[in-house]
Amino acid sequence: MDSRGHIARLLLELEAELRARDLWSAHAPLPQALASTQPFCVDTLAFEQWLQFVFLPRVEALLAAGAPLPAGCAIAALGEVRFAGGGHATLIALLRAIDEAWCP
């Protein structure tokens, strides 16, 4: 499997894990929250919301369009902070796997 296919599979796994952990929101945040200029929308969204409403859709759109991916991905570190001590080892491992697949 090529790296783009591998990343696409990991994104599906990430969504499934967020859903399984009840970290998937049924309602989109307000447009103002999505318009944040801060990295990861830290001032307006929880990290899991950023994953669901910003990261996943943007990366999926790039993959679907065959567009180049940004030079790097480093989401695991923030995930480690957000989900520390919460029994989210599988979620953190998925974030690490995405980082590693992105920049092998």
- What pLDDT was estimated at residue 85? 84
Q: Domain 3-102, what fold?
A: de novo design (two linked rop proteins) (1.20.1440)
Beta carbons of 18 and 24 less than 8 angstroms apart: yes
Beta carbons of 75 and 91 less than 8 angstroms apart: no
Q: How far is CA 15 from CA 10, 25, 55, in A?
A: 9, 11, 11
What confidence tens digit (pLDDT) does each residue in 62-79 have? 999 999 998 888 999 999
Write down the pTM of the prediction: 0.93
C-alpha dihedral sign at 51, 74, 39, 64: negative
Query: Which residue type is seen at 93?
Result: A
